[in-house]
Amino acid sequence: MINQNTIFFNRELNSQDEVFHFLSKKAIELGIATNEEAVYKGFIEREQQGTTGMMDGFAIPHTKSKEILTPSIIIVRLEKGLDYDINVINLSIGSRRLSDIKYLKKGGRITPMAAALASLLKIKPVLQLHEGKIDAYAKARTFKQAKQIMVEAIKKDLSERLNDPMCKDSRLMIAQYGYLDFAKEFASELEAEFGEVETVNLSLSVATHIGPGTVALAVARKISTD
C-alpha cells in the first residue's frame, strides 16, 4: 500500500486545491486510478462532508471511486505549511473521545482506508451528537488533546448556546461506555472548574455505533421544579 514511489518530499504546493490536483495526477501516473478528474472531484466531495485536516500540521484527504484500481496511500510532505481550511463544527449536545475507531469502520461511518490511516497515525477522533446524528467534530493525537477539545467545546456551548458561562444553571454530565475509571477521573478534573459533574452510562443507541472505550461530555439547562 505504501512504497518509495508513493512518497514525495518538499513539494511546493500552496493551497488545498493544489494538493488535491497533485494527488490526483500522481494517482494516474502511478497506475492507482484511471480518471484524474474523478479522483480530484472525490477529494472535493469528501472535504465538503467535513475537513480531513488534522492537528499538528497534517491532513489525510481520501476518496472512494470506481476509477481507483487499487487501495493506495500517497504521502506528501510540503516545503511550507498552508491553510487547509479546517472548520470546527459548533458542538450542540456532546462530544466523544474514542479509544479506537474499528466500530466506526464496521458501522460504515468511515471508510476502511480512513480507518487504516487513523490507526496508523494514532488519531483519537472527537465526535458530536446533534439532533440524533453523529458527526466528526475534531481530531486529536493524544487523550490529553481530546479531553481539552471536549472541554473547550463545552465552554463554548455554555457561553453561546446556554448563556451560562459559569455553569450555574446547567448540568454537566459525563456518559461512558466501558471506561468508567477514566470517566470518574475526568469528572474529578472538571468539578474543580464547573462544580458537580454527573457520571452516567452512555445510551445503548449511541454506544452500539461507537463501541467501548467511549466517554461523552454533555451539558444541558437545569429543569426548574418551581
Q: What whole-number distance in Å separates Cα of residue 226 and Cα of residue 224? A: 6
Any residues with CB less than 8 A from the CB of 45 and at least 6 apart, and which?
A: 63
Q: What is the pLDDT of residue 103?
A: 55
Which of the two residues, 129 and 187, has the higher pLDDT score? 187
**pLDDT greater than 90 at residue 144:** no
Give the phi and the psi of residue 189 in degrees, each rounded to 5. Answer: -65, -40
Q: What is the pLDDT of residue 21?
A: 95
pLDDT of residue 162: 86
Contact of 172 with 192, CB cutoff 8 Å: no
Q: Which helix (H) or strand (E) holds 9?
A: strand 7-11
Position 74 pLDDT exceeds 50: yes
- What is the per-residue pLDDT for 92? 24
Share of the chain above pLDDT 90, in %: 18
Residues 75, 77, 81, CA angle at the centre, nearest 5°?
135
Q: Is residue 93 within 8 Å of 99, Cβ to Cβ? A: no
- Burial state string for 127-150 with b = 16 or more CB within 10 A and e = fewer than 16: bbbeeeebebbbbbeeeebbbebb
pLDDT in tens, 77-115: 888 877 665 433 222 222 333 445 555 555 555 555 444
DSSP letter at 187 equals H
